[in-house]
Chains A and B, each alone.
Chain A
Amino acid sequence: FHNGETMDEYESSLVFFVNGKKVVEDNIDPSWTLLQYLRTKLRLCGTKLGCAEGGCGACTVMVSKYHRAEDKVRHIPVNACLAPVCSMHGLAVTTVEGIGSVKTKLHPVQERIAKSHGSQCGFCTPGIVMSMYTLLRNMPKPSMEDLEVTFQGNLCRCTGYRPIIEAYKTFTEDWEKM
């Protein structure tokens, strides 16, 4: 503890980070999902509700945690529609708003999917962006097989997928060799 905080103040508070900012929630309903919290409390609406059963990936965010046994930080893609917000205690959540913006600078993951015509209606795009972003955080030079595995939990009804794969192929090791 620092800044004079005591154990008591933390006892019933949920503490986690969203896009680098600390969130302290004193009165949380345990039935709340992370998606619900992001959209209705924080009004971070880039993360979408598509199915609420973990099937479509429109709600994908990155969750980072310190892994004690390995003594390192791990990044995992998470369905915010299923993750109880209470399970985020001590963790860091990154949403699509956290990695770049039109107003400042887009992240290459955002820029390439847009430029390669991989976004039509755009409702699935933030989830796909976050799946790809998380992959790159763990594996800066993935293979095409890694891409395939990464997107198993993301659905898109508009594009037919090819332009998304074309966009993200440029991040792969094979592409670098070409």
Chain B
Amino acid sequence: TQQKTDTVGRPIPHLSAYKQAAGEAIYCDDIPYFENELYLAFVYSTKAHANVLSIDPSEALAMTGVAGFISAKDLKYNQVGPVMHDEEIFISKTVTSQGQFIGAIVAEDQTTAQRAARKVKVEYKELDPIIVTIEDAIKHKSFFSGVDRKVANGDVDEALRNAPHIIEGDCRIGYQEHFYLETQCTVAVPKKEDDEFEIYCSTQNPSEVTTEVARILGVHQNRIVTKVKRLGGGFGGKESRAAMIAVPAAVAASIYNRPVRIMLDRDEDMMISGGRHPFLFKYKVGFDDDGRLLGCDMDIYNNAGYSRDLSIAVMERALLHFENSYKIPNARAVGYVCKTNLPSNTAFRGFGGPQAMFVAETILREVAEYLMKDVVEVGRLNLYAENDVTPSRQTLTNCTLSRCWDECIQSSDYARRKRIIDEYNKENRWKKRGISVVPTKFGIAFTLPFLNQGGALVLIYRDGSVLISHGGTEMGQGLHTKMIQVASKALGIPISMIHIVETATDKVPNTSPTAASASSDLNGMAILDACNTINERLKVIKSNNPNGTWEEWINAAYFERISLSATGFYKTPGLGYSWETNSGNAFNYYTCGVSITEVEVDCLTGDHQVLRTDIVMDLGDSLNPAIDVGQIEGGFMQGYGLFVMEEMMYSPTGTIFTRGPGAYKIPGFGDIPSEFNVSLLKGASNPRAVYSSKAVGEPPLFLACSALFAIREAVKSARIDAGLEGPFKLDAPATAAKIRMGCQDQITAKLDVPKPGSFVPWN
């Protein structure tokens, strides 16, 4: 039986939850002011593509309280970027997107800094072309070169030649803004000796902040300590882009030799920090009379914005997920990363996976409709089974997809509800219901193998209390809570004896970003390693006094001069996919799940309600079911935003119109499913991660796609009533406008359809 002190697998609340509810939990901008602190405000580019002719800060500099203005001229090193240094901190000559930094004002307080920044005069000479959309990029052949990525398996040409049926098509999915409730924030504090710096930053990647600041300031990384207590959400948006704020703050702090703080306003954050990549898919797919997929040839495009950032890795994950959970024996997909004059897009929970899996679900429905078959039957027919091989040639082991599928169909009472829905739709003309089943299979590991490493430092003090540090950051996902549970089990002491203060580069160096859903896997194993080292050292002490308490053993160990601190380390074994040869495993394992969603659509307005969602998810033996169910629900609702609600609006000249919650709608309290049933698959231990658990962060997000396809079923029913059979498209996000226009009727027939080219589109 499980020990009382062993909390692994128990629903422990987030260990900061009480402080968070009391407003006592400290976020970056809550850190007390430092003596002599300055505030930084950026001067943003207002053109998408232009040469900067002149910058005149004189009016700003004349304001009381303004300490100075910094620009490219003040920097020795100006090139930054997480993978390739293909961006400038401050633009030296040519802006390639609105929102790039022309320079920054440093002033005594925030209000003064922001007012002064708006008074800096910039003259531009505009350049052609301005590339905004993926189509613009294709037209101008504007791709990031040298990064050709493709997966290929089987004989695609042969399979498509011989397939009884062929469908060609395309589909697309839009941008998503992270909307972490806490915007990007940094406080950079010069220590005034030996080039030492302390940087407090709301980042998922403290090591990158240290690396980049050290490189730009021209000092060793051992001088720059980056500290992260917690983030008010990250979702990928603070994986690489946090350094874009931290580096200029550190530069300013270095120049003025005073602490410098900056927290972006929401409109600034939305305007400059990028988000989820929009994708366009063009596909050709062959299948047989039963709907079995035989072959697929696909081109995938994503809109990267002005710099590479993580866009190539995002494309890689898309290429490794475009078939979602369906077996396609002969498949080829080629990725094109589009360079455009928009803010640089970056990581976002799912990292290209949700966008790519959307195409598989679109294809599946088109195949079923072409053959006039039930999409659920066609889905089940094509669902991966044990030992099937993916297009990237990874063999699936411990594949629980069909178990999740069958259990979800049963527990959601799918068959009966489908009949009721069909009946409802016969009886109602202007309201329609729809239901849909969507599986997911999400590969766990960074696609760059070397990032799959974790480190930990475990310190035990003389009173027996334990301080843990590890490389992961806490952004709400309950990572620290889980890590304390792991350490508690490993050391055999209650969680109340264990504490985590922060994540810092002087505790664990060279850490990977808290990303790829992998942080509890990697850091959990590293903590286990450190705890095992200490347990080994305590063995002799414990055997001398088998009935002693933990405190007695620790005290005895101290007097025996036994070290009570240990590092721990872990690397995921067996990874290494080669893009050249399409071989080697890209992932450590897959997290799988299935969701079934029912909606009701108002055909006259395009409004809808999610009536019910059922999810069955395989998370191995969950470390903490309360946190994991919270991740599933939170992930699902974020996916619901992506697929149904959230829409970014741009002008053809690259201006972002949607800069706050007033215009950009993330899901609210009233948007959640009226009935929401989440269950974890039982009896599915995962042999490949800490205490048989599985990664949970990103995988559930895609399941919200079931809401979009349930809407599509409802719209289809409305179209059939209007006498419209045959294929139709519903791209993501399926906003009220798209739903309404999809429900074609005598009212939509009265609308004029403008001639292409007769107007300038604004999205």
Contacts and interface: CB of A to CB of B under 8 A. Distances in A.
Contact of A119 (B14, B633, B638): B14
A114 B21 contact: yes
The 6 A-B pairs of least Cβ separation, nearest first, read: A46-B23, A122-B20, A121-B476, A55-B661, A123-B232, A160-B633
B680 to A, nearest CB: 15
Contacts of A151: 668-669
A84 to B, nearest CB: 14
Given A158-B476, A161-B669, A161-B672, A101 B266 contact: no
A100 B18 CA distance: 10
Interface SS majority for chain A? loop
Interface in A95-114: 95-97, 100-103, 106, 109-111, 113-114
Interface in B579-593: none
Interface stretch (B176-184, B289-297, B394-402, B649-657): B176-184
Interface string B158-195: 00000000000000000000111111000000000000
Nearest to B672: A161
Interface residues of A, number: 58
A172 interface: no
Given A120-B630, A155-B661, A52 B265 contact: yes
Interface stretch (B24-32, B369-377, B449-457, B507-515): B24-32
A53 B476 contact: no
B233 A102 contact: no
Contacts of B263: 49
Residue among B23, B661, B670 with the highest chain A CB neighbour number at 10 A: B23
A133 B667 CA distance: 23
A163 interface: yes
Nearest to B17: A114
A115 interface: yes
Contacts of A111: 18, 21
B634 A122 contact: no
A143 interface: no
Contacts of A165: 669, 672
Interface SS majority for chain B? loop
Given A110-B22, A125-B20, A50 B672 contact: no
A109 B478 CA distance: 21
B161 to A, nearest CB: 46
20 contacts: A40-B109, A45-B29, A49-B183, A52-B266, A55-B660, A100-B22, A102-B18, A102-B22, A114-B13, A114-B14, A115-B13, A120-B476, A121-B476, A123-B182, A123-B233, A155-B668, A159-B634, A160-B635, A162-B633, A162-B672
B17 A119 contact: yes
Contact of B20 (A53, A54, A119, A157): A119
Given A101-B22, A163-B633, A121 B232 contact: yes
Contacts of B668: 151-152, 154-155, 161
B387 interface: no
A126 B23 contact: yes
A50 to B, nearest CB: 5
Given A49-B263, A55-B662, A121-B232, A106 B634 contact: no
A160 B669 contact: no
A121 B672 contact: no
Nearest to A44: B23
Contact of A97 (B20, B22, B230): B22
A99 B365 CA distance: 53
Interface in B248-266: 263, 265-266
Contacts of A45: 23, 26-27, 29-30
Residue among A106, A115, A161 with the highest chain B CB neighbour number at 10 A: A161
Nearest to B638: A157
B475 interface: yes
Nearest to B19: A102
A163 B11 CA distance: 13
A117 B13 contact: yes
B411 interface: no
Nearest to B704: A160
A108 B429 CA distance: 47
Interface of B: 11, 13-14, 16-27, 29-30, 32, 109-111, 178-183, 230-233, 235, 263, 265-267, 475-478, 626-627, 629-630, 633-638, 660-662, 666-670, 672, 676
Interface in A144-160: 148, 151-152, 154-160
A121 B266 contact: no
B91 to A, nearest CB: 26
B24 A48 contact: no
Contacts of A95: 23
Nearest to B21: A110
B57 to A, nearest CB: 23
A154 B661 CA distance: 11
A66 B614 CA distance: 48
A110 B18 contact: yes
B23 A51 contact: no
Contacts of B178: 157
A124 interface: yes
Contacts of B109: 40
A120 B17 CA distance: 7
Contacts of B24: 46, 97, 101-103
